[in-house]
Amino acid sequence: MKSDERLPEVGATAPFSGDGRTREAVARLLMEQGPVTAAAVAAELELSAPAVRRHLDALIADGEAEARQASQRGPRGRGRPARQYLLTDSGRARFGHGYDDLAVAALRYLAEHGGQSAVADFAQGRVDEMLGDGAAKVSAAGGADARADVLADVLTARGYAAQTREAGSGVQLCQHHCPVAHVAAEFPELCEAETHAFAELLGTHVQRLSTIARGDSACTTHVPAEAPDNRRSTTTTIPKGRQSV
């Protein structure tokens, strides 16, 4: 009778150690062979049927896998039709993507053939598209502090996990996640365009204190408490290693 884990050979190391690695093996099999039945997964990984169902149910509950009825070929036998399992986009994400490498390669090509100005134009266009209709919401708010709060909400909705906090004579806009950090590490134009857009939306000079792309724990931008009458898009970046106050 099969156990919940594959038994190692004498003197060998077990291929899986705990539910986490076993679940990853199940997910990888769904990625490589899916749609596939639970019975096929059990046979391939030498796991018991209950163990496989437990891992499949967990992947489905997490939104990483889905089940569908297997296509019927030939006369249908007794019992319920077999179900097949495959990974969702979220499930495939656990194995990583080459999007960062592709983006870096594309920007290198753009810089080589169009120059740095082309990269800067691309970065500005990307920020404008990312902010979308959120830019109007920010501009409609009154005062730099209020606009910073709205901007944090817009950025959070875009996946940047942003928040504001009081800091001296102003506030700090902190982004705890950056979806393009790896690309921005080679192409700081992405960060510069973002900071420029913040200054325009907030109606004041802003200072970028730290960035995830440079190895800091968050992207932090200082926003003065009072916006001047004339909006300025000038931005300042401190040397690497300086942390937010």
For the chain, which residues make up each domain, given as ranges?
Answer: 19-93, 112-237
19-93 has CATH 2.60.120.10 classification: no
Which tokens is 58 given? 């967990």
Q: Which of 19-28, 75-84, 114-123, 177-186 has the highest mean pLDDT?
A: 114-123
SS3 track for 67-105:
EEECCCCCCCCCCCCCEEEEECHHHHHCCCCCHHHHHHH
What confidence category does residue 176 fall into, taking pLDDT thresholds of 50, 70 and 90? very high
Predicted model pTM: 0.62
- Residues in CB range of 207: below 8 A, 6 or more apart: 221, 222, 235, 236, 237, 238
Which tokens is 149 given? 């709060």
* Whole-number pLDDT of residue 76: 52
**pLDDT 10s digits, 90-104:** 888 778 777 888 999
Residue with more model confidence, 19 or 69 = 69
Report whether pLDDT(53) > 60.
yes
* Whole-number pLDDT of residue 144: 84
Report whether pLDDT(75) > 70.
no
* Whole-number pLDDT of residue 79: 55
DSSP β-ladder status, 162-166 and 83-87:
unpaired
What confidence category does residue 11 fall into, taking pLDDT thresholds of 50, 70 and 90? very low
Residue with more model confidence, 32 or 117 = 117
* Whole-number pLDDT of residue 206: 95
Residue with more model confidence, 232 or 60 = 60
Average pLDDT value for residue range 9-38: 72
Report whether pLDDT(198) > 60.
yes
Distance of CA 245 to the CA centre of its chain: 27
**pLDDT 10s digits, 146-173:** 999 999 999 999 989 999 999 888 999 9
Report whether pLDDT(230) > 70.
no
Q: What is the mean pLDDT of the chain?
A: 83
